[in-house]
Structure 1
């Protein structure tokens, strides 16, 4: 497995998880429709990167 590529995936996964955490906190504070959409986007990003990392493990 290419360690540099793996590192980049982990970095992006961490970033997506942080965005998810921020979106959840914002949603809890205001519970507006806009923040609810942000939460869904962040969840999708996190799921996409988790799938990508899983694929790397399978190919590795």
Structure 2
């Protein structure tokens, strides 16, 4: 899978939040099967993205 920002290869990773592809070049992240991973979440994509902006991707 290619990164949507810098077109580098993205790496498949998993953590307690679920599965995702992480770009180690620019730090972009693509969550896989979002609604399967977070069935209890009923907000909009925009609300979820606003919440996730606070997560420290640099920790990975």
Which structure is higher in RCO with an 8 Å CA cutoff and minimum separation 6?
1
Question: Which one has a larger percent strand, Structure 1 or Structure 2?
Answer: 2
Same fold (TM over 0.5): no
TM-score (norm 2): 0.26
